């Protein structure tokens, strides 16, 4: 056990403790109470029951100096009927903590059903800078609840008070298109956001467009991770349109997003305008990019991307000996980043694209954090490999029709998602009648 009164850290992470009751957690509570002031608490890798969480919450209420609440992976093996009360106790204990900066609740598999207990904390604590909810099986329902709470938090700020929220990590949650416009509204309201991680969420092109509209209001954005969602042409255009709004962007991850060649070309032509010169890391693996689009990437690097230190383009439609790859390599070398290009061991020089660039090939999605009925009894238990049945109807509807209803335009009078100063007209005109 690592807890240190001198540093203000209480850490029992990865001890594989099973703490069901107040009595079970009593020895650890005793040690926690002695740490004053308390700055950090790390509980991950153990499992906590309702009684243990309620006892812990009583102590945390008094620890007003707490800055980091590490509560990831604390419900493994718990019945889903237990989790709401446990989570509510812990979250409510932290509502009025003005020093609290980071909340880590990833890998808890509590699903959409258990999102509501977080609402009070997320709505009323205006000091949180980092929120990590990855790998929780939130689904559309849970994602909507969380995003709505964040939006209400921004709305409730006093005149002149700015949002403290900077980093949102919500990957592997099957948020899908249904929650995307709600997240977009929340992002637009928290304009100081610098990093958004929404990887592996089954978000399709209309959802990507909604997110980009919302994030266009976040002028200080430095990191955008949309890996393993589906962009195609429509989503790629949305990213390209938003790029000029992010002059501080350092990391862009669009790997496995099916940009395809036209979408990639739009993206690279925007980067060629020199409005994202701080870009350091670009992930574009398995995006169905052809030689022509990769050549435009090389041009963008040569012209403006002097800070690009990491580039991943493996798994696209070219050969390692092609001129476009040579151009990319030479452009990186020009800026002193000869080793920036990752391995190209899975390039596909014979690869072919669909004629319809806005129709994605069905991808096999890895499902995480959901629930199954226990065969031994009627109680629900956590299953990390199955789908959440509460979202089956949403998934079916989304897969049946890629052209979802248009999401609301989140632009305000003074901020919109159009490109400034005629930039849009500088981009290549594309023949995509189905787009509109």
User: What is the domain partition of the chain in residue ranges?
Assistant: 244-349
User: Is residue 341 within 8 Å of residue 328, measured between CB atoms?
Assistant: yes
Q: What angle do CA 233, 278, 413 make, to 5 degrees?
A: 60
Query: Angle at which helices 83-92 and 50-60 pack, to 10 degrees?
Result: 0
Q: Give pTM, 2 decimals.
A: 0.84
* pLDDT tens per residue across span 13-44: 999 999 999 999 999 999 999 999 999 999 99
Evaluate if residue 433 carries a pLDDT over 60: no
CA–CA separation, 67 and 189 (whole Å): 24
CA–CA separation, 420 and 218 (whole Å): 15
* pLDDT tens per residue across span 113-147: 889 999 999 999 999 999 999 999 999 999 999 99
CATH of domain 244-349: 3.80.10.10
Evaluate if residue 261 carries a pLDDT over 90: yes
* pLDDT tens per residue across span 41-57: 999 999 999 999 999 99
State the pLDDT at residue 111: 87
Mean pLDDT of 402-431: 36
Cis peptide before 37 (omega within 30 of 0): yes
Rounded to whole angstroms, what are the CA distances from 91 to 78, 162, 196, 429? 18, 22, 22, 50
> How many C-beta atoms lie closer than 10 Å to residue 30's C-beta?
10
**Distance, C-alpha 74 to centroid of its chain:** 21
Task: Return left, alpha or beta for 218; rule: phi > 0 is left, psi -120 to 50 is alpha, else beta.
Answer: beta
CA–CA separation, 342 and 397 (whole Å): 38
User: Is residue 78 within 8 Å of residue 49, measured between CB atoms?
Assistant: yes
User: Is residue 55 within 8 Å of residue 93, measured between CB atoms?
Assistant: no
Q: What is the dihedral of CA 120, 126, 127, 129, to 10 degrees?
A: 90
* pLDDT tens per residue across span 358-378: 555 544 333 333 333 333 333
């Amino acid at each position: 056990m690592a807890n240190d009164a001198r540093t203000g850290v209480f850490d029992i992470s990865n001890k594989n403790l099973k703490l069901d009751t107040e009595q079970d957690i009593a020895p650890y509570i005793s040690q926690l109470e002695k740490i004053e002031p308390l700055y950090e608490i790390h509980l991950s890798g153990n499992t906590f029951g309702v009684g243990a969480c309620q006892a812990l919450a009583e102590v945390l209420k008094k620890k007003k100096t707490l800055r980091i609440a590490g509560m990831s992976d604390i419900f493994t093996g718990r019945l889903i009927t237990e989790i709401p009360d446990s989570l509510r106790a812990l979250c409510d204990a932290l509502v009025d903590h003005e020093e609290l900066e980071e909340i880590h609740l990833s890998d808890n598999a509590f699903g959409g059903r258990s999102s509501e207990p977080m609402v009070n904390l997320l709505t009323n604590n205006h000091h949180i800078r980092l929120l990590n909810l990855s790998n929780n099986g939130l689904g559309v329902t849970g994602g909507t609840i969380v995003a709505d709470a964040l939006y209400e938090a921004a709305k409730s700020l006093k005149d002149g008070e700015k949002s403290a929220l900077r980093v949102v990590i919500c990957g592997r949650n099957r948020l899908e298109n249904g929650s995307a416009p709600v997240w977009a509204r929340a992002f637009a309201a928290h304009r100081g956001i610098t990093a958004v991680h929404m990887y592996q969420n089954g978000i399709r092109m209309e959802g990507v467009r909604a997110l980009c509209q919302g994030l266009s209001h976040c002028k200080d954005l430095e990191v955008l991770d949309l890996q393993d969602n589906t962009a195609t042409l429509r989503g790629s255009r949305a990213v390209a349109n938003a790029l000029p709004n992010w002059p501080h962007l350092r990391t862009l991850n669009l790997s496995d997003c099916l940009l395809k060649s036209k979408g990639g070309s739009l993206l690279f032509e925007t980067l060629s305008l020199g409005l994202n010169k701080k870009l350091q890391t670009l992930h574009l693996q398995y995006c169905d990019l052809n030689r022509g689009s990769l050549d435009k990437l090389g041009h963008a690097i040569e012209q403006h991307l002097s800070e690009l230190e990491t580039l991943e383009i493996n798994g696209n439609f070219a050969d390692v000996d092609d001129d476009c790859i040579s151009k990319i390599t030479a452009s990186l070398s020009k800026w002193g980043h000869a080793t920036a290009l990752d391995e190209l061991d899975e390039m596909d020089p014979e690869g072919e694209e669909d004629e319809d660039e806005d129709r994605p090939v069905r991808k096999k999605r890895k499902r995480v954090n959901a629930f199954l009925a226990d065969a031994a009894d009627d109680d629900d238990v956590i299953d990390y490999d199955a789908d959440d049945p509460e979202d089956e109807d949403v998934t079916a509807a989304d897969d049946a029709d890629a052209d979802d209803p248009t999401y609301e335009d989140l632009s305000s009078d003074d901020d919109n998602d159009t490109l400034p100063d005629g930039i849009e007209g500088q981009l290549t005109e594309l023949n995509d009648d189905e787009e509109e």
